[in-house]
């Protein structure tokens, strides 16, 4: 947070940044100006007194002078420190959608672009239709429970929207739009989801390979992208954003995967797919195709021809893991192959090792029984 002696000239010439910019005044402690990435400017007061915290925005910087705002801030801060109950500690004029947008802008530097896009989608589809137009300070636990019940038909979307709403409410507390420790999302139980797991069988792999071969000539880039998803277990975003500089020494050096930079070791079949592609620019799959939605459309066509209408692109990643596990690879190794940060993420595939466990029992039991006889 920057600190300046706020003069009218400085207020007028402060430039918006990519993130929210707060500038504190050196003349009056607890007074400052907040500049949004959109260019909107509002003065604020910020103070702590006897364990209570105050953060309140007030007055548009385009409507009042900095001198007028400082005078009003001085009066509000004095009233607050004197325990004046009439002091508006919470900004009750903040609409939910305004605060929500500010929160997403604030998190732009904290979330990956893909995460930000997904969270914005949940905000607009699942959250705003219920809460838009309401004061964020007036939203209660009962309101949040009613909203969550309204999404019972789509439990997965409800469960993914709840943390986003919680982040918005938590940030509203930090910014003074709600009292401290008033987050109405805390402790709300999520819906139980039935985990959907679909893994390809050997015959289905053959059907898929035949369907891809029929499209090789007309859609070479799309076919190659799907082939790499099958052969590497990579995420779709990791494949379609590949640059040629990421491919060297028989490996993919992913600079920014979902879990951070990682190295993907390639089998000969995967290297052959890449080596047979033209190098037109820095992007393996060019800047125009296959785009995510184009690849999805292509996949729907191919899976239909292969008789695999219930298989998603992401299921190719699951299938890669299941094949590795069935062929003796450990959970730790598979987690490294898939780029999982936590072993618990990989454990979903552990039921595929049941056969190996049964075989281990047959091996261990005679040894143990011999020792007991």
Residue-level pLDDT at 167: 95
List, for the chain, all residue ranges whose pLDDT scores fall below the cut of 50.
85-90, 353, 356-361, 363-364, 367-373
Residue-level pLDDT at 326: 66
Q: Is the pTM of this model over 0.75?
A: no
Residue-level pLDDT at 139: 92
Residue-level pLDDT at 245: 92
In angstroms, the CA 56 to CA 46 distance is: 7
Residue-level pLDDT at 88: 47
Residue-level pLDDT at 351: 53
**Contacts made by residues 284-288, CB under 8 angstroms, sequence distance 24+:** 284/242, 284/243, 284/244, 284/246, 284/247, 285/221, 285/224, 285/225, 285/239, 285/240, 285/242, 286/221
Residue-level pLDDT at 107: 85
Residue pLDDT, tens place only, 70-83? 998 888 888 877 76
User: What sign for the dihedral angle of Cα 196, 202, 205, 206?
Assistant: negative
Q: What DSSP string describes 162-201? A: HHHHHHHHHHHHHTTSS-TT--TTTTPPPPP---------
The CA-based diameter of the chain, rounded to the nearest angstrom, is 94
Closest CA to 90 of 25, 181, 166: 181
Residue pLDDT, tens place only, 173-229? 877 778 778 999 999 999 987 666 777 888 888 999 999 999 999 999 999 999 998
Q: Is-contact 44 33, C-beta < 8 A?
A: yes
Residue-level pLDDT at 290: 60
Closest CA to 162 of 138, 133, 131: 131
Closest CA to 312 of 213, 224, 236: 236
């Amino acid at each position: 947070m920057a600190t300046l002696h706020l003069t009218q000239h400085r207020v007028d010439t402060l430039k918006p940044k990519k993130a929210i910019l707060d500038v504190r005044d050196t003349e009056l402690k607890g007074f400052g100006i907040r500049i949004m990435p959109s260019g909107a400017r509002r003065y604020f007061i910020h103070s702590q007194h006897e364990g209570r915290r105050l953060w309140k925005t007030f007055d548009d910087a385009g409507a009042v002078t900095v001198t007028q705002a400082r005078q009003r801030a001085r009066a509000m801060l004095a009233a607050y420190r004197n325990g004046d109950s009439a002091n508006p500690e919470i900004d009750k004029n903040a609409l939910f959608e305004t605060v929500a947008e500010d929160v997403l802008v604030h998190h732009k530097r904290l979330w990956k672009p893909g995460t930000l896009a997904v969270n914005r989608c949940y905000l607009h589809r699942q959250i705003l239709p219920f809460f838009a137009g309401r004061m964020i300070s007036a939203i209660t636990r009962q309101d949040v429970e009613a909203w969550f019940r309204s999404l019972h038909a789509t439990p997965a979307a409800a469960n993914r929207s709840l943390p986003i709403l919680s982040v918005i409410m938590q940030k509203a507390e930090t910014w003074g739009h709600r009292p401290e420790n008033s987050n109405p999302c805390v402790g709300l139980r999520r819906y139980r989801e039935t985990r959907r797991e679909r893994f390809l069988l050997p015959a289905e792999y053959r059907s898929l390979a035949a369907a891809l071969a029929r499209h090789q000539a007309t859609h070479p880039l799309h076919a190659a992208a799907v082939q790499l998803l099958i052969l590497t277990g990579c995420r779709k975003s990791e494949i379609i954003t590949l640059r040629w500089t990421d491919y060297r020494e028989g490996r993919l050096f992913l600079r920014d995967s979902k879990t951070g930079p990682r190295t993907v070791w390639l089998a000969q079949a995967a290297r052959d797919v890449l080596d047979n592609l033209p190098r037109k620019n820095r992007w393996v799959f060019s800047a125009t195709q296959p785009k995510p939605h184009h690849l999805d459309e292509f996949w729907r066509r191919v899976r239909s021809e292969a008789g695999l209408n219930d298989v998603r692109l992401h299921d190719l990643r699951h299938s890669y893991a299941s094949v590795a596990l069935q062929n003796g690879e450990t959970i730790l190794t598979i987690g490294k192959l898939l780029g999982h940060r936590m072993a618990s993420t990989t454990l979903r595939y552990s039921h595929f090792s049941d056969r190996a466990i049964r075989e281990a029992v047959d091996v261990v039991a005679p040894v143990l029984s011999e020792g007991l006889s």
